[in-house]
Amino acid sequence: MRISFLFVLLGWLHGSACVEAAVTPTLPASDTTITIRAVMGLQYDVVRFAVKPNTRVRIVLQNADDMAHNLVLTKPGKRPEVVNAALALDSKGPALNYIPKTASVLGAIQVLSPGAQGELIWTAPATEGVFPYVCTYPGHGFVMFGALYVTAKPLPPLKGDPNVPEQALQNQEAAQTAHHVDYTDRRPSPHPYPVELPVIYRTFMPESGPAAIVVVLPNEQSYCWDAGVCRLRYAWQGYVDNSEQWHGNGKRLSKVAGDVYYRTGSEFPIRLGDPGKAPKEVLYKGYQVVDRYPHFRYTVDGTEVTEIIRAAGSGNGLVREFRMGPVSDDVFFTLEPHEEIEYTASAGRIEGNLLRLTPRQARQFTITIKSQKTAKL
């Protein structure tokens, strides 16, 4: 456990060292290549790097995620403006690769499908500055970015750097600690291997149908997803305790070890075409595990849906990503009112308790559920 933690940490440091080594005098200043990977969890694996003024930089983007991403390089301080401009493209977005035509955009790599690679070449100015790069794919821009430093000086400490995503840093820290140390250091593993997070358990849970799936996420938030009805049931801060379920041969339920901060209602949330009409048939198909995250698959009246649930940063919250097969009508998603919950969506319009998505928007969207209650420490 500890060894893998160190390894990850070293690997990460090693990665940044490589990046900074690119500006050492042994390499020609006019030809620097930096490779950035788009990785799972809406992030670039390189969140900052530096080049000397006047360097001709080649940025290679490899999409190692299972969703689409682009990369847009902006003028200093213009990241939020560019992200909002990309969102304003609305239905014109896809054709433009969600790259707005504004003077704030210095260069861009178009939308890459999973596994694809693209690049851009940009020459750094003679003066120093911090140039943001960001994924402007809808819903990604607020968390998925990094910074290109044009400077000959050492970089400021990574922690506290306002130009890198705080969430990504936190996630990275959480992943490094929770993923590799916390779970089993605090509790002995019930298996012949250390438990790595996320971890998936099919078990009997309270407040669910009998075909429940529990996932404990890297920051030790957990959720219960009911495969019997293909929907999220509730989420909590904490883990799942299966000991009594196992020991009693299923007679006693697994336990929610923590505080539930979110519960869904009793209805299936997705409506095709008519918000008043529940789907006739919702069928569970299974899940594919990608980087230990389950990608739940089900059909709603024949339309395929994939759902991936990740932690929304470090507090109590989830990002539910949905990918849907082609639909001809608008799609509605019920956002049940909840005192302490705030919903945001990467696409569509929120009308009352409904998120309304055009058929195009419905192909891929995220719904972020954030608890306003501070997590119990």
Partner 1 sequence: MIRSGVLFLAILWFSAVAIAQSAADSICNYYQIENIPVPKGLLPEVGGMDFMPDGRLVACFHRGEIMIYNPVTRQWKLFAEGLHDPLGLVAVSNSEVLVMQRPEFTRVKDTDENGIADLYEVVTDRFGLSGNYHEFNFGPVADQKGDYFISLNLASGLGGTFAEVRGRPDSLGRPGRMYSYVPYRGWIMKVDKQGNLTPWAMGFRSPNGLGFDTRGNLFVSDNQGDWLGTSKLYHVQKDKFYGHPSSLVWKEGFPDIDPLTLPVAELDKMRTEAAVLFPQGIMANSPTQPLSDTTNGKFGPFAGQMLIGEMNQHRIVRLMLETVDGQIQGACVPFFDKCGLRMGNNRMVFGPGGSLWIGQNNHEAWTGDEGLQRITWTGKVPMEVQEMHITKKGFDLTFTHPVDKKLAVRPEAYPFKRYYYEYHQAYGSRQFDLQPVPVKKVKVSRDRKRVSVELAEMKPGYVYELNVTGVQSREGKPVLNTLICYTVNKLRKS
Interface ranges with partner 1 (CB under 8 A):
189-193, 199-204, 208-211, 227-228, 242, 246-251, 284-290, 294
Compare residues 51 and 230 and give the one whose CB is closer to partner 1: 230
What's the min distance (Å) between Cβ of 290 and partner 1?
A: 7
- Judge contact between 296 and 287, C-beta under 8 A: yes
What's the min distance (Å) between Cβ of 311 and partner 1?
A: 18
What's the min distance (Å) between Cβ of 266 and partner 1?
A: 9
What's the min distance (Å) between Cβ of 191 and partner 1?
A: 6
What's the min distance (Å) between Cβ of 66 and partner 1?
A: 12
Compare residues 264 and 346 and give the one whose CB is closer to partner 1: 264
Compare residues 228 and 337 and give the one whose CB is closer to partner 1: 228
What's the min distance (Å) between Cβ of 209 and partner 1?
A: 4
Q: 264-300: b or e for each residue (b if 16 or more CB lie within 10 Å)?
A: beeebbbbbeebeeebeebebeebeeeeebbbbbbbb
Within 8 A by CB and 6+ apart from 168, the residues are 41, 43, 44, 47, 143, 144
Q: Report the C-alpha gap between 220 and 212 in whole angstroms.
A: 18
Compare residues 96 and 199 and give the one whose CB is closer to partner 1: 199
Compare residues 201 and 343 and give the one whose CB is closer to partner 1: 201
Residue 43's φ and ψ, nearest 5 degrees, are -155, 155
Long-range contacts, stretch 317-320, CB < 8 angstroms, 24+ apart: 317/221, 317/368, 317/369, 317/370, 317/371, 318/221, 318/223, 318/232, 318/235, 318/262, 318/368, 318/369, 319/42, 319/366, 319/367, 319/368, 319/369, 320/232, 320/366, 320/367, 320/368, 320/369
- Judge contact between 15 and 143, C-beta under 8 A: no
Compare residues 140 and 233 and give the one whose CB is closer to partner 1: 233
Compare residues 49 and 223 and give the one whose CB is closer to partner 1: 223
Compare residues 142 and 234 and give the one whose CB is closer to partner 1: 234
For residue 85, give both structure tokens.
């401009």
What's the min distance (Å) between Cβ of 89 and partner 1?
A: 35
Residues in the chain: 377
Of 343, 322, 328, the C-alpha closest to 274 is 328
What's the min distance (Å) between Cβ of 161 and partner 1?
A: 35
What's the min distance (Å) between Cβ of 229 and partner 1?
A: 8
What's the min distance (Å) between Cβ of 285 and partner 1?
A: 6
- Judge contact between 288 and 357, C-beta under 8 A: no
Which residues partner with 73 through β-bridges?
Answer: 107, 133
| β-bridge pairing 349-351 and 317-324 | unpaired
Compare residues 7 and 246 and give the one whose CB is closer to partner 1: 246
**Strand positions, DSSP E, 227-302:** 231-241, 255-263, 270-272, 282-290, 293-300
Residue found by looking up tokens 């902006």 in the block: 74
Compare residues 26 and 249 and give the one whose CB is closer to partner 1: 249
Torsion of CA 238, 244, 246, 248, to 10 degrees: -160
Tell me if residue 243 falls in helix, strand or coil: helix
